[in-house]
Structure 1
Amino acid sequence: MRDLIFMDCEPDVLKEDIRAGKKAVFERLVKQCETYFSVELPKSHPPSSTTFMGIAMANLALAYILTDEKRYLYEARRWIMTAVNYPHWGNAHLVDVDLSAAWILFGMGISYDWLKESFTQDERKAVKEKILLQGGRMFAFKVETEGSGWSTNYWQNHNWINMTGLSAAAYALVKEGEDVQQWIDSARANFDFVFSVMPEDGSDYEGVVYWRYGAMWLYVYAHLLKEREGIDYFETSGFLRNSFEYRLYQAAPNLEEQIGFGDAHDRRSGHSTAIYYKTAAEYKNGYAQKLGNLVRDEFLEREAELSKVKPGILPECFFEVLFYDPMVEEKEFDDLPLEKFFDDLGLYVKRTSWERDAAHFSFKCSNPGGRKQWSWLWKLKEEKNYNCFGLSHQHPDNNSFLFNYGGHFFAIDDGYNRTVKASDHNVILVDGVGYEGEGQNNIWKNYTPEMKGEIISCELNDDYSYLAGETAAVYKKELKMNKCRRHLFSKSGSSIFFMIDELVSELPHTYTWQMYSDVYPDVYGDCYRYSIGNAEMDLFVVSEREVVMDLNENTVRAVMTTQEPDKFTENHMKGIRISNKELVEKQSFISALVPRSAEADHQEIEKVQCDGAYGLSTGHDERVDYLLYSPSGYLVFMDTPVKAKLAHIEVENNKISKILELVND
């Protein structure tokens, strides 16, 4: 075991590295530390989050270890002693026992371990006693609340951050002979379970923003445990190994912004150089190395300026210096597949290329929290009577889709929201409403096991992609929905995405197809044309019945944290809604998203009907593709009988060349 906690090489080795391969990340650390000297630290705890204080201590401590410059030591002591003098850590909500306290425990624990020999006896005593006090408060709360709250919300960022902070503080104090081994053991047991129940595909139901804020601490704890105990979660955890792919495929084509499923404060709070560099180092992952360098060299300042998530990306320089391995060679993303399916979360992604102006389509339908979590939540409820249903950052977005093209967002999500509703997403509404329990922060807390969305079919091959998501079980019970199924179809190499919605209830309803965008469309019959900059998207929505259309603006506003009630996010979404005119029990819609550059010709797309079916056609006289939906499961096209509910038919020179029977039930 090395002398300094969290540092997995000797300081002298690191001092050599920062003059060579780690020079760029070290300069980041120096630049960040220079900003701390001018910060006026309040004598009383500020009426806001103090997460920034913990990471500042760690950055300054590392700068001193690497440079021996006393000014970094003195500045670290200023930050540390300011926090020591606060009687409590945190503001307004879960004071002393949540994120603000955890970040400071982490930073102060590491800083104490690294700098204690440079403290006066009084300072050393005060810091140690404060860590013991705050860590004791955190640990006592964890034990007292076991079975509810963050202590056993094993899939949530609060659990990961709080337990990592407690663990780092404990490793610092146990070397001093303090009786804190139970803190270490508790964290070990917690993370043993966490890593065993995280999805192997690396997906995160909380979404990209909370992935960068919370999942980072799974990597941090794994690093800490490997360095202290020699236990290697990087070797055994599928989540740690694969989670970078989840993040990469949820990057917008420009790679700078993210796709916003789940709570997303903005479009630029998604990058974590800490995770990228740790992934690159542990797995020799050149793709992660490339994205980490791209963020550091190109995106860093804009992310820091525009992100609403604090402390933000700049203070992560502490982790960059320790995690970055300059020997890992970058790999080009062009080597990677253009589509990816994350089975646990029911998340499908397709992009037309790895160019920054590509089309990017993302579609999601899942069990609450993902398949593995949903199963374990009920096991914990039945076996231990634990209530771990802390799903407050997930949205009612089953069968929702998001679309980006040419660097612009054409189909968007609601962002950050504390009163989540289906009506804020690109999903089907029934009589204007959606899910059971919607309109609050965590709508799944009173669900039953069968109340879930699910991908019921997924076929990805060299010719086409087809998926179907079913989500009737989560709609309000009084609607008596039997089927709410969205089919997705796209041909390989094509940027056109088709969706077919099948809706069946025991009662007659108004069914509404809706989509939100950054802009309103121009209307040309069944075609709704969206234009943003040099990019356009035509939206086609057709039905077998007469429909009505309206445009609406939906403003979603939410306070981001109870610690700072005056700070909020606000998203102005431009919506289109298309509904059946007469109440019916069964309804269907066929829709298509057709992107193009402003100077390109418009695709020829038309509504078509044949015996027993209707749909859309694309193409020209020599080659026409038809996507047809038959409610009865039987249709006749060009005198050819087809036994299928959903069929894709290719016609060349007025002759059928290929029939795909996509759905036969």
Structure 2
Amino acid sequence: MRELLLATLVAGLFSGVDVEHLLDTPILGTEAIFAYDADELAARAEGAVVEERDGRRVLVTTERTFRLSFTADLLPGSHVLSIEASAPNRGADSYWLVVDDEQLSTPIAPPIESFGERAGGFRIEEAGPHVVSLILREAPGSAISQVSLRRTALRPPIEPMLPELAAARPRMFFTADEIPVMRERLQDERVQRYYHPAGPLTRKPPAFRPGGRNGGAFRSLPGYALSHVLEPSPEKLEALIEWLEMATTYPDIGVDLDAEYFLEGVALSYDWLYDELPEDLRARLRENICAHARRLYDASLAGYTGGGLSFQQNHYWYAHLALVLAAAAVYDEVPEARDWLAWGWDRAERIFITFSPDGAFHEGPAYWDFSMPTLYMLVDLYEQLSGTPVPWADTGLHGQAIFRTHHLYPGLERSVALEDSTAGIGRPPIGLLLWEAKRYQDPVVMGIAGALRRDPAISAFNLLWLDDTLEAADPFAEVPLAQYYPDVETAFARTSWQDDATHLAVVSRPLGGHFYAELCARYGIGGTGHNHPAQGHFTIFARGEPLAYDPGYTYEKRTRNHNTILIDGQGQFGDGEMWPGPKPGRARVTGFVSDGDVTIVACDPSSAYPPELGLQRFERTVAMAGPDLVVVRDTLAADAPRKFSWLLHHIGQAEEMTGGWRVTRGEATLAVVPLQPDGVEVLSSRYLPQYVHPTRDLTPKEDAEIGLLELTTDPVEEATFLVPLIIGALGEPLPEVMPVGDDTFSGVRVGDSLIAFSRKAGEMTLTLPWGESHHTTARAVVAVLRDGQRSIVELPAGGPVAD
């Protein structure tokens, strides 16, 4: 039956949707209970009046004591209260939902200054009359045009768990039949490189902290639970039981990250240790897991779990993995778990159908490390428990390990801090590389894991995701030095895999990448909050140091924090926002070519700037001409005279020199030699980005203060920046820098390297470093004479991408 369904599959098996019907919910049946307009609401409200606004009648909250109450006969099951409302500002933008005098923990927050539908979910246990109310969480001033209530019921097309697994323990990630083989594997040297069983858990479980973050401490439990399964001991079991006893006292762990942390530990331990747990503890754990699952399920039905419909936001992934873990743990013991698990599969399918199709990820390397475990666990659980492949998953997941590897600086210890990544981020978790190597039987990824591994770890997934029979290939002979990802519009290049190589990254894209940006625009969804308004941004790492820098994770995301262009001091869509939502800009990479240690990347970030800034043209070309030279050429035009500012960030010491500036970091230097335009004002400054959040402080312990070189023109309608960036060692003399060009091209000769950029369509004639003339219609050319070897790399006209 399942094979027949898969053979004709054009939509998700549980969700029933594809990208053309992304927000449909055929699995979900609803029964309308009531729907009231503003005048009908007024009869049920205190502290509010009806007004006419923009041609519609609305109920406006006027008193802090506002209360809107409904009494209705309700049947047992999940219910969703929806309100169409608008708030004037962040101080008057949310309500609490109260059911039978019990206030729910998740507020309902309408849009600011526009009407939109928002909802809250709750569960009714007993049939009969019930009172549902809305009260203000903050100040009055919001307006409500309609309130409706509906009861929901799931109609899964097939059972969400195979019957043979529903009757088995354990059933998540492995079964009892696999345990003997897993025990034998512990003796294999290939396994011992990556995994060793944990000893008894000696830390004491923390008590629940009302109002605090709870759940995180439990996330490590699976490593200890698996250790006991493989090498049982009374000491290990006793410690685990102590932690699970404490877990039963946790009343509410929310519907977001903490819920997953908690349930990853508790639900997996419940499943893996099921037969060894005392019966009374098992019953209390089951009750606790169910209570959390109900909150997650009701919140998800109401569109609140993990950011509503933000399918490509890590909170959404965590929240729905939490629901799946809870449902799978108590499946066949609690009837509701069937609905919870089917709904979890519905949500998971929407994650994978909207995922970037080019093996890349949009939230930066830190969130890759943080988020990918949820996707890999969802894939494994979906396929194991339902017995069907995850639709669309492999399109986006295959290649992720190499994508993450490209973020590693030479030396393979640190990573470039693109998007919301903390400065100094290191290597990716080895277990994630093992997952991809195993799933795709990829010897190159296995080789990456081998190259990056350190000591064996106690993580359960280092064993569960390890295929110790898979031979490793040499990744540094197989992974390209440069690679371009067309959906997330990011290009990486390095001059070699040696520790002394130069590394370049260039980003120019819509927030979320092209595929997801179009879905956000089409369906009005979100999930791009960890992206930065940084299109056209580049970074350079060379001689063991970051030289053109990215400050990383900030809570005020500013274009000014990145190596790109400002217009009259102003930045791109999303500038200054904490969590930028989807934007209309469609910045892109327009050309990419790489050969050996030479890479040329061209991009067009112009549409990333709001139209009121008047930017009509911004074309950037970044040419890496070997390990010691990067040249940036920008062509800019505006609708009226504007000041254009060219930015370069660093964490070194900047000093003025003849013809430019020198940045020194350790033993490495970066000479910034602006050749065009004439007459720019150069400002060298230092500043502290906004690393502080109301609840978190991400200020780096080292290098928190950022250096900035800012080159600003007078107000002009057009400008061209031509800026060689020359990499060297402390005390090393600069090579000769000579501008070259005519009316067809502009460029620079640095030592025996020529970098030329076309000024217009048509042919240009260059004199190469070895004296020959060269005729070409290319957009950009790098010609290098090194150790007697000649090379020419061209970026073709018209924007094709070449490897």
**Interval containing the TM-score (normalised by the shorter chain):** 0.7 to 0.9
Distance 1:633 1:506 in 2: 26
CA contact (8 A) 2:502 2:627 kept: no
Residues 479-511 of structure 1 deviation map (CA, whole Å, 9 limit, x = unaligned): 1111122112345x5652222111110121111
Give the alignment partner of residue 457 of structure 1, picking from 572, 580, 591. 591
Give the alignment partner of residue 666 of structure 2, picking from 530, 533, 536. 533
Give the alignment partner of residue 182 of structure 2, picking from 14, 19, 34. 14
The Cα of 1:351 is off from its aligned counterpart by 0.4
CA contact (8 A) 2:194 2:453 kept: no
Change (3 A) 1:355 1:72: same
SS in 2 for 1:541: coil
The Cα of 1:16 is off from its aligned counterpart by 1.1
- Does 1:409 find its partner at 2:551? no
The Cα of 1:128 is off from its aligned counterpart by 0.3
The aligned counterpart of 1:69 is: 233
Give the alignment partner of residue 469 of structure 2, picking from 292, 309, 327. 327
Residues 166-216 of structure 1 deviation map (CA, whole Å, 9 limit, x = unaligned): 112111111325321111111211222221221222211100000110122
Distance 1:529 1:349 in 2: 25
Letter in 2 for 1:607: P
Give the alignment partner of residue 596 of structure 1, picking from 719, 728, 748. 728
The aligned counterpart of 1:170 is: 327
Distance 1:185 1:659 in 2: 54
Give the alignment partner of residue 290 of structure 2, picking from 129, 132, 137. 132
Change (3 A) 1:506 1:271: same
Give the alignment partner of residue 180 of structure 1, picking from 328, 337, 349. 337
The aligned counterpart of 2:532 is: 395
CA contact (8 A) 2:530 2:579 kept: yes
Letter in 2 for 1:419: E
Change (3 A) 1:85 1:233: same
SS in 1 for 2:483: strand
CA contact (8 A) 1:559 1:569 kept: no
The structure that has the greater radius of gyration is 2
The aligned counterpart of 1:385 is: none
Distance 1:540 1:260 in 2: 25
Residues 619-650 of structure 1 deviation map (CA, whole Å, 9 limit, x = unaligned): 25xxx625255379887878999897955486
CA contact (8 A) 2:255 2:306 kept: no
The Cα of 1:362 is off from its aligned counterpart by 0.5
Give the alignment partner of residue 524 of structure 1, picking from 642, 645, 657. 657
Letter in 2 for 1:38: R
The Cα of 1:112 is off from its aligned counterpart by 0.8
CA contact (8 A) 1:479 1:507 kept: no
The Cα of 1:657 is off from its aligned counterpart by 11
Change (3 A) 1:410 1:136: same
Letter in 1 for 2:173: M
Q: Which runs of 5+ in 1 are unaligned?
A: 90-95, 301-313, 382-387
- Does 1:55 find its partner at 2:219? yes
User: TM-score, with normalisation over the residues of structure 2?
Assistant: 0.71
Give the alignment partner of residue 265 of structure 2, picking from 95, 100, 107. 107
Distance 1:648 1:164 in 2: 49
The Cα of 1:225 is off from its aligned counterpart by 1.9
Distance 2:792 2:448 in 1: 41
Give the alignment partner of residue 587 of structure 1, picking from 719, 726, 742. 719
Distance 1:635 1:249 in 2: 34
Change (3 A) 1:566 1:81: farther
Change (3 A) 1:455 1:120: same
Change (3 A) 1:615 1:27: closer
Change (3 A) 1:640 1:18: closer
Distance 1:659 1:320 in 2: 43
Distance 1:393 1:662 in 2: 34
CA contact (8 A) 1:363 1:401 kept: yes
Residues 343-401 of structure 1 deviation map (CA, whole Å, 9 limit, x = unaligned): 111111110111122110000101110011111112323xxxxxx22211001111100
The aligned counterpart of 2:256 is: 98
SS in 1 for 2:523: helix
The Cα of 1:613 is off from its aligned counterpart by 5.3
Letter in 2 for 1:577: E
CA contact (8 A) 1:365 1:454 kept: yes
The Cα of 1:78 is off from its aligned counterpart by 1.6
Distance 1:82 1:658 in 2: 67
- Does 1:121 find its partner at 2:287? no
Give the alignment partner of residue 86 of structure 1, picking from 233, 250, 254. 250
Query: After superposition, where does 1:375-524 map in structure 2 within 5 Å?
Result: 375-381=518-524, 388-445=525-582, 447-448=583-584, 451-460=585-594, 465-491=599-625, 495-524=628-657
The aligned counterpart of 1:306 is: none
The Cα of 1:100 is off from its aligned counterpart by 0.4
The Cα of 1:567 is off from its aligned counterpart by 6.3
Letter in 1 for 2:484: F
CA contact (8 A) 1:426 1:514 kept: yes
The Cα of 1:327 is off from its aligned counterpart by 1.9
The aligned counterpart of 1:307 is: none
Residues 101-122 of structure 1 deviation map (CA, whole Å, 9 limit, x = unaligned): 1221222111111223222222
Distance 2:791 2:353 in 1: 49
Distance 1:333 1:26 in 2: 18
The Cα of 1:155 is off from its aligned counterpart by 0.7
Q: Which has the higher contact order (CA 8 A, sep 6+)?
A: 1
The Cα of 1:463 is off from its aligned counterpart by 9.7
- Does 1:616 find its partner at 2:748? yes
The aligned counterpart of 1:308 is: none
The Cα of 1:269 is off from its aligned counterpart by 5.0
Change (3 A) 1:464 1:121: closer
Give the alignment partner of residue 513 of structure 2, picking from 345, 370, 382. 370
Distance 2:746 2:725 in 1: 18
The Cα of 1:577 is off from its aligned counterpart by 0.8
Give the alignment partner of residue 145 of structure 1, picking from 292, 303, 316. 303
The aligned counterpart of 1:4 is: 170
Distance 1:629 1:78 in 2: 70
The Cα of 1:267 is off from its aligned counterpart by 2.0
The aligned counterpart of 1:346 is: 489
Q: Which has the higher helix share?
A: 1
- Between stretches 391-400 and 549-558, larger displacement belongs to 549-558
Letter in 2 for 1:45: R
Change (3 A) 1:648 1:294: closer
Change (3 A) 1:19 1:259: same
Letter in 1 for 2:264: F
The Cα of 1:553 is off from its aligned counterpart by 0.8
User: How many pairs were matched up?
Assistant: 620
Q: Which runs of 5+ in 2 are unaligned?
A: 1-164
Distance 1:228 1:202 in 2: 25
Distance 1:658 1:286 in 2: 33
The Cα of 1:530 is off from its aligned counterpart by 2.8
Letter in 2 for 1:476: P
Distance 2:229 2:776 in 1: 73
Residues 266-309 of structure 1 deviation map (CA, whole Å, 9 limit, x = unaligned): 322551222111112222223333333444426x9xxxxxxxxx
Residues 239-273 of structure 1 deviation map (CA, whole Å, 9 limit, x = unaligned): 22111111011111121111111101232255122
Letter in 2 for 1:583: P
The aligned counterpart of 1:576 is: 709
Change (3 A) 1:88 1:57: same
Letter in 2 for 1:13: V
The Cα of 1:62 is off from its aligned counterpart by 1.1
The Cα of 1:663 is off from its aligned counterpart by 5.0
Q: Aligned-residue CA RMSD in angstroms?
A: 3.1
CA contact (8 A) 1:286 1:329 kept: yes
The aligned counterpart of 2:206 is: 42
The aligned counterpart of 1:384 is: none
